[in-house]
Amino acid sequence: MTGDTELKRQLVHRHIRPFPDFPKKGIMFRDICPILKEPAALAAVIDLFEEHARKNYEKVELIVGLDARGFLFGPLLAQRLGIGFVLIRKKGKLPGATVSVVYDLEYGTAEMEIQEDGVAPGQKVLLIDDLLATGGTLLAACELMRKQQAEVLGCMVIIELKELNGIEKLKPLSVYSLLEY
Question: Has 6 been annotated as catalytic?
Answer: no
What is the chain's percent helix, strand, coil content, to nearest 5? 35, 35, 30
Closest CA to 119 of 153, 88, 94: 88
- Compute φ and ψ for 123, nearest 5 degrees: -65, 140
147 close to 107: Cβ distance less than 8 angstroms: no
Rounded percentage of the chain residues whose pLDDT exceeds 90: 96
Identified catalytic residue from 58, 106, 163, 168: 106
CA dist., res. 179 & res. 160, Å (int): 6
Average pLDDT, rounded, for the chain: 96
pTM of the entire predicted model:
0.95
Q: Which domain holds residue 53?
A: 3-180
CA dist., res. 98 & res. 125, Å (int): 18
Per-residue pLDDT band at 2 (split at 50, 70, 90)? confident
- Compute φ and ψ for 19, nearest 5 degrees: -125, 100
Closest CA to 71 of 130, 126, 156: 130
Number of domains, the chain? 1
Identified catalytic residue from 69, 89, 113, 160: 69
Question: Has 38 been annotated as catalytic?
Answer: no
Give the dihedral of Cα atoms 34, 37, 3, 53; nearest 10 deg: 100
Q: What is the pLDDT of residue 1?
A: 64
CA dist., res. 77 & res. 98, Å (int): 24
The CB-side HSE value for 74 (13 A sphere, CA atoms) comes to 24
- For 97-140, the pLDDT digits (tens) are 999 999 987 778 999 999 999 999 999 999 999 999 999 999 99
**What CATH number corresponds to the domain at position 77?**
3.40.50.2020
Q: What is the pLDDT of residue 105?
A: 79
CA dist., res. 120 & res. 135, Å (int): 25
Residue type, 128: I
